[in-house]
Structure 1
Amino acid sequence: MADDLGLDLPNDLDAFIGNHFIYTYANGWRYEWYARNATTCDYRIHQGLVGGRWVTNQTMQLVQLAPGMYKADWHEPTGTCVSLYFDIGRRVVHGTIFFPQWIAGEGQHPEKTICYQNEFIADMNRFRDEGPAYPYVVIGEFAKITFMEQRGADNDDVINAAPGQLPDGFLDRTN
């Protein structure tokens, strides 16, 4: 804990929990992410290497780094690790994704993850265990937040359908 180090960092997650974001990385990948509560997030991927994938109730670690700045980290059943930094004031995300070889390596199979993961956890674990995992493919990119709204904590209506099932124009709103 930061307090154990005498850093006196803020720890007010209330302003962040319940926020729903859509952001597009510099490489063109488009993600949607929801801070369900202090320990879980939901997301769907609209464009990118694993576009079409979606997950609900993903366990995460969430911290506040400074006013308006938050970091979420998690490890998926696929073996993928994700770290997201949100700068709300500047509407910027920096994401680092640590893909195992079986997903992002040359000649591998990202398509195996394109599903509603919650219904295929055993498969994701099996694919992860079959590997290969190393060396990880590390992708770090900045993204622009193109949509942001407060939806309240634990709202099952936020991320409740596969990517591509949003009303027309939803991804281009600039709230």
Structure 2
Amino acid sequence: MNMTKTFKTLEDFLGTHFIYTYDNGWEYEWYAKNDHTVDYRIHGGMVAGRWVTDQEADIVMLTEGIYKISWTEPTGTDVALDFLPNEGKLHGTIFFPKWVEEHPEITVTYQNEHIDLMESSREKYDTYPKLVVPEFAKIAYMGDAGQNNNDVISEAPYDGIVNDIREGRYFDAQYHRVNK
């Protein structure tokens, strides 16, 4: 199910599901849900186990086949991703508030059900200095999920989920979850 198409337009990018690993070893799963929202699951790194759906984001094409996505989470974490899918890589910079660096476990949940906790933690704990994590990543998987597919990121991460996805056990031919 790993795609081999060439990315040229913004439409080519929207609806794509990615799995990638940063050079520091952190593994992420990320979905360009539509032209203004993203979903993601985090499988490695200091906030492994965190997952988010319908995160509002700015999604643009910088030039043919190169995309920039940026957003601010309710935690106060800022994210900027530059995708070069034709080259199988991206560059991401994550700006973690001090409180997330000191209390990452608070964020390791399905954020959408705990927005109040994220916002109150942001007010309760220090936000500065930020922990800035700029890293290159290699894209290990690209799937054509189509836009607004709520099956792509629809459950908490579990051990082996990225292998299930990469090896074709997680989605059917229509990119819907096999085991709901």
TM-score, normalising length from structure 2?
0.85
| Cα RMSD after superposing both structures | 1.8
Q: Which residue of 2 aligns with 1:78?
A: 75
2:65 corresponds to which of 62, 65, 68: 68
Q: Distance in 2 between matches of 1:22 and 1:173?
A: 12
Task: Answer whether contact 1:100 1:131 (CA < 8 A) is retained.
Answer: no
> Are 2:36 and 1:39 equivalent residues in the alignment?
yes
Gaps of 5+ in 2: 1-7, 169-180
The size of the alignment, in residue pairs, is 161
Superposed CA deviations along residues 67-95 of structure 1, whole A, max 9, x for unmatched, are 11101000000000000000011110111
SS at the partner of 2:53? strand
Identity rate, percent? 50
After the TM superposition, list the runs of 4 or more consecutive aligned residues in structure 1 that deviate by more than 4 angstroms.
Answer: 165-168, 171-174
Q: Which residue of 1 aligns with 2:110?
A: 116
Q: Which residue of 1 aligns with 2:157?
A: 163
1:98 alignment partner AA: F
Gaps of 5+ in 1: 1-10
2:48 corresponds to which of 33, 46, 51: 51
Q: Distance in 1 between matches of 2:159 and 2:133?
A: 27
1:43 alignment partner AA: Y
Task: Answer whether contact 1:18 1:35 (CA < 8 A) is retained.
Answer: yes
Task: Give the deviation of 1:46 after TM superposition.
Answer: 0.5
SS at the partner of 2:43? strand
Q: Distance in 1 between matches of 2:140 and 2:132?
A: 24
Taking a change above 3 Å as real, the CA distance of residues 71 and 164 of structure 1, as seen in their structure-2 partners, is same
1:16 corresponds to which of 13, 16, 32: 13
> Are 2:142 and 1:148 equivalent residues in the alignment?
yes
1:36 alignment partner AA: K
Superposed CA deviations along residues 7-63 of structure 1, whole A, max 9, x for unmatched, are xxxx94211110000000011000000000000000000011100000000000011
SS at the partner of 2:17? strand
Taking a change above 3 Å as real, the CA distance of residues 129 and 85 of structure 1, as seen in their structure-2 partners, is same
TM-score, normalising length from structure 1?
0.87
Task: Answer whether contact 1:24 1:146 (CA < 8 A) is retained.
Answer: yes
Relative to its length, the structure with more helix (as a share) is 2
Q: Distance in 1 between matches of 2:61 and 2:98?
A: 31
Q: Which residue of 2 aligns with 1:133?
A: 127
